[in-house]
Amino acid sequence: MLRDLGLDDSPAPADARVDPRRPLSTRRGWQDNLFRLGSHGGGVVVLAIMTLVGLFLLIRGFGAIEKAGWGFLGTQAWEPNSGHFGIAAVLFGTVVIALIAIGVALPLAIGTATYISEYAPQGVKRLLIGIVDLMAAIPSVVYGLWGMFWLEGQILPVAQWISTYFGWIPFLSVPKFDPADPLATPTVFTASAFLAGLVVSMMVAPIAASIMREVFSQAPIGEREGALALGASKWGMIRSVVFPFGLAGMIGGTMLGLGRALGE
């Protein structure tokens, strides 16, 4: 066979030179030691900075509580001129907005990341990746202006209709709203935690979807093929392999996007 291909299949001569086998060594070189030192040093610096920031906030926070009292955490009034400070309303609003944003953004981000990483054709996949990454890079103030000047006007008629016909349900009722004169009371709807939560969810969803997409794409190919070989459907493979593998990325991406949105 080798001769047909023009190759020599004769055995090597007895005195042919054979390179000696190189000894294997597990000893780290200076490059490995340098990289290890740099990575450990970087980790220590990051932890030290986070610890110092936490100590600074803790010390300053206790100073504020000593001056304003523990009522600072349970009082709604914020009156600098009279020396009364309370963040109860701010804390409550932040928690409510965060819950609404997570409730809207989490399913949207999971669905987007799953479609891009598992179902989208290659051309559509590249397009959607670019769009999602572009949305994740948009400044938060742009989303805020979008919510103020466009989303608010679109939500107002829907909110008034829901309050008019379903206001008998406690969590759908809007205080101080007169269904007989809806034009006189629009501000009770615009000062809405639900509206703010929708805007925040639009900030959170692209960031969370980008991180989830990257994590989903790293799911082991062997486990994917094993699930399919055992008779699992495409969705069954995603549910039993991709989602458990990407659980940490799903939580981390959502929290990262939420932290950025609420912080700004």
% of the chain with per-residue pLDDT over 70: 81
Contact between 144 and 261 under an 8 Å Cβ cutoff? The reply is: no
What domains are defined for the chain?
94-263 (1.10.3720.10)
pLDDT band at 20 (very low <50, low <70, confident <90, very high): low
φ/ψ of residue 247, rounded to 5: -60, -45
Diameter of the chain by CA atoms? 107
pLDDT higher than threshold 70 for residue 166: yes
pLDDT value of residue 65: 76
Query: Smallest Cα–Cα separation from 100: which of 221, 196, 188?
Result: 196
Mean predicted confidence (pLDDT) in 163-170 = 73
φ/ψ of residue 174, rounded to 5: -120, 115
Estimate the share of the chain in helix, then strand, then coil, as percent rounded to the nearest 5.
70, 0, 25
pLDDT band at 22 (very low <50, low <70, confident <90, very high): low
For residue 191, the 8-state DSSP code is S
Q: Using alpha carbons, list the distances in angstroms from residue 19 to 8, 22, 38, 83, 218.
A: 21, 9, 37, 86, 40
Scanning the structure block, which residue is given the tokens 């949207």? 108
What pTM was computed for the model?
A: 0.70
Amino acid type, 28:
R
pLDDT value of residue 6: 55
Q: Which long-range contacts (CB under 8 A, 24 or more apart) does 233-240 make?
A: 234/118, 234/119, 238/114, 238/118
pLDDT value of residue 13: 61
Residues 6+ apart with CB under 8 A from 215: 245, 246, 248, 249, 250, 253
Residue 156 CB neighbour total at 10 angstroms: 16
pLDDT higher than threshold 70 for residue 5: no
84 DSSP β-pair partners: 79
pLDDT value of residue 264: 63
pLDDT value of residue 4: 56
Query: Smallest Cα–Cα separation from 108: which of 8, 177, 2, 198?
Result: 198
Q: Using alpha carbons, list the distances in angstroms from residue 10 to 2, 3, 7, 13.
A: 10, 10, 9, 9
Mean predicted confidence (pLDDT) in 69-81 = 73
pLDDT band at 109 (very low <50, low <70, confident <90, very high): very high
pLDDT band at 95 (very low <50, low <70, confident <90, very high): confident
Rounded CA separation 72/96 (Å): 19
Rounded CA separation 205/110 (Å): 9
pLDDT higher than threshold 60 for residue 183: no
pLDDT higher than threshold 60 for residue 185: no
